[in-house]
Amino acid sequence: MLDNSGLFDEQLGALQDYDLWLRISEFGKVLVIPKEMVNYYNYTTGKQVSAITDRYVDAIAYINKKYSRRINNLSPEEKVIKESCDYYLLANKAMRNNNKKLSRSYFIKALRVRFRLKYLIYYVFTFTSYRTLLKFRRYI
């Protein structure tokens, strides 16, 4: 499948894995395993791609342009879900990077596009630390 879809897009400063999954999905059916299969650790220290929120803003714009034909084929409801998820992702990255004001603005945008209780709860957590959010995230 990787032979057909290609590897990571080096034009992207972030979300290379997401872009790869989008390309892979063009060559077969993607299934969901409804069970946690991996432990994910989110370190708040050290240099990571996720340390720069603007990389994600640029990556989302790039991906939306790259896959505009596929996005245009989404139903109106699917487009709303995608847009709110984009804002949610940016809000989380901004919060991780300790930019609470930017995080709040993205959570508000996500809530305006599509109200989700989860987004509202995360918004409230922007008035605390990211570490506090990480402690409670599994309960949200």
Query: What does the domain layout of the chain look like in residue ranges?
Result: 74-140
Q: Give the pLDDT confidence of 41-96 residue by residue, as tens digits.
A: 666 555 665 578 999 999 999 999 999 999 999 999 999 999 999 999 999 999 99
Looking at residue 131, its pLDDT comes to 92
How open is the CA angle 19-68-103, to the nearest 5 degrees?
A: 65
Q: How many other CB atoms sit within 10 Å of the CB of residue 47?
A: 7
Residue 139, amino acid:
Y
Question: What percentage of the chain carries pLDDT values higher than 70?
Answer: 92
- The letter for the amino acid at 88 is Y
* pLDDT for 50: 58
Report the predicted TM-score, pTM, of the whole model to 2 decimal places.
0.85
Q: How far is CA 9 from the centre of its chain?
A: 17
Look at residue 49 in the predicted model and tell me its pLDDT: 58
